[in-house]
A and B are shown apart, each in its own frame.
Chain A
Amino acid sequence: MSCWQTIQDYGLRAIGIGERLLPREGYDLCQHFTLIGSGMIWNIYFGALALIAGFFIANAVALGKASDRLWLRKPSEWFVLVFRGSPLFIQFFLAYFIFLRLKQAGVMPWLTAAQAGALLVLILNTAAYSGEIFFGALRSVPRGEVEAADAYGFSGWRRFRRIIWPTTLRLAWPAYTNEAIFLFHATTLVFFSGFPTWKQQGDALYYARFFADKTFNPFVPYPILAFYFILLTLAVIGLFGLVNRRLNRHLPAERRAKMRIRPNLIR
């Protein structure tokens, strides 16, 4: 079987298009690359959607934590505490069993599927982590900028939208990039944490483990997985770097915050 044939059969296997059964023999490099690559579809799906939805919730959470009103502040603080203080792995399990209860009660049965349920958990998880990052940035907005905004007659929503929020994002961006990378890494947990795989449509790590179990040789599938993830990480860094440049475009060149990708900052 040629490699092109393998790609046609398994290129979109992770979303149920192509060959029904997973490969049973051969296990050549082409199969490894194709199937693990098709699994990346799910990693990108979970990561990208959770990032987009989580961004909005994170802003709300950061504002809630910074709010003077107790009924806004306390729930935000608890939300961040619960999701940052416990392992994502446990959150997945717990959420799955809650969704299972809901399904038995006839409420939202589709939540037990990984595509919806795990995505929801990831959204809330990343919202809590990024909310904390944005909150920290919000508190370190220079006082002078706010005073200048006051002097120019900005107030309320306009002051927030035009002055405070852009600076918050600018300050938070390097740490937020880190969070995005961690989020994409965290998507590999989904199919190992209670959420069942439907018709063996799993993510990249699921297929890598499939090959490692079949061939009993971890030295081929995991490096391939690492290769794909390094590409993904570089893409995320590149994309976030573009946004970072736009957020910093008004600053003189030497004052621009250099993007420093350091995994020790967060999580």
Chain B
Amino acid sequence: MFSFCTDPDTLGQANWLACYLTTGKHMGLYWSFVTVLVLLAITAPLALAFGFGGAVAARSQIAPLRWFGKGYTAIVRGVPDIAFFMFFVIALDQAFEWVRHRVLCPSWTEPVRQGNDFVVCAAAKLPLGTAPQWVHELYGFGLAIVTFAIVYGAFAANVLFGAMRAVPRGQIETAEAYGMSRRQAFWRILVPQMWIYALPGLSNLWMLLIKATPLLFLLGVEDIVYWARELGSSRQPRFTDYPHGDWRLWYFLGLLVFYLAFTKLSEFVLERLMRRLSRGQATMGAT
């Protein structure tokens, strides 16, 4: 990257490191940090929306909808989230392809599952076989986002369900006494007030989400764990200008420091937010 990197004399000098850390592959590593941040930025609101939907469904008066909501909030209690990740990535992919197969190739008579294969017609493949590489990567990333949102949405649903129940009953009763309908009382009284009760749980969830981002690696996305393993493993002088031994230890140490800084920063910001939102509330944290 730097002009002095072309000069072979820099080897063994201090700026060797500057050259080493700016190779094309290291740029991939730095971009994958952006990937993690993008994932968080998209997943967090999406999971919150899923969670809100789940919590509302769990409170519904329509029985099947309530069962669905309760079931959704219950799934995360008993089963490891990693299992969900691995399941949903394949299951969603197959579900999308199956639906497209049904719509796009109605004349196809063979079964979709043939022994140990999952066969759909070429037009239903996702992404299409002719699609460029970046579409494949984007599709994989999109599947990962939806998977994260489903799993952490269930956590969020738990939090929000609890928060809705924590709002004092008297508030709703007052709203009803003023002649508000159920819908009005929900949107104007319950929802604005529940956030303060939900915030501790949601900040916990945010931490969980941050700490779950390395699992992207298991979903087949080229994330920071992938690059740290790739770049850290030992290099022979024959294949690269920057030969080194097994440096994976140092790369992962770097990742650890990154996550520590990130969670610490989040903690600081969330605490400020908590203090801000507690203002004027009749809770212990209010000042």
Contacts and interface: CB of A to CB of B under 8 A. Distances in A.
B17 interface: no
A98 B246 CA distance: 11
Contacts of A262: 158, 162
Interface string B136-151: 0000000000000000
A44 interface: no
A218 B219 CA distance: 14
Given A230-B78, A264-B201, A218 B86 contact: yes
B204 A85 contact: no
B128 interface: no
B135 interface: no
Contact of B77 (A94, A101, A181, A189): A181
B153 to A, nearest CB: 13
B69 to A, nearest CB: 16
Nearest to B215: A89
A146 B211 CA distance: 38
B256 A90 contact: yes
B82 A218 contact: no
Interface stretch (A11-19, A155-163, A207-215, A238-246): A207-215
Interface stretch (A2-10, A106-114, A221-229): A221-229
Interface in B210-263: 210-215, 217-218, 225, 228-229, 246, 248-249, 252-253, 255-256, 259-260, 263
A188 B249 CA distance: 23
Interface stretch (B22-30, B110-118, B175-183): B110-118
A186 B229 CA distance: 21
A192 interface: yes
A185 B81 contact: yes
B118 A85 contact: no
Interface string B11-26: 0000000000000000
A188 B158 contact: no
B91 interface: yes
A97 B165 CA distance: 47
A212 B207 CA distance: 30
A97 B116 contact: no
A218 B91 contact: yes
B87 interface: yes
Nearest to A84: B263
Contact of B118 (A94, A216, A234, A265): A216
A87 B86 contact: no
A86 B82 contact: no
B197 to A, nearest CB: 11
B62 interface: no
Interface of B: 76-83, 86-87, 90-91, 94, 113, 116-118, 155, 158-159, 162, 201, 204-205, 207-208, 210-215, 217-218, 225, 228-229, 246, 248-249, 252-253, 255-256, 259-260, 263-264
Given A84-B263, A262-B162, 5 more contacts: A27-B116, A90-B256, A90-B259, A94-B256, A218-B91
The 9 closest A-B pairs by CB, nearest first: A185-B80, A230-B78, A264-B201, A97-B249, A222-B87, A87-B211, A218-B90, A85-B263, A94-B252
27 contacts: A85-B259, A86-B259, A86-B263, A87-B211, A88-B211, A89-B217, A90-B255, A94-B249, A94-B252, A97-B248, A100-B249, A101-B249, A185-B79, A186-B80, A188-B83, A189-B82, A208-B86, A212-B86, A212-B90, A218-B87, A218-B94, A225-B83, A226-B79, A234-B78, A261-B77, A262-B158, A263-B77
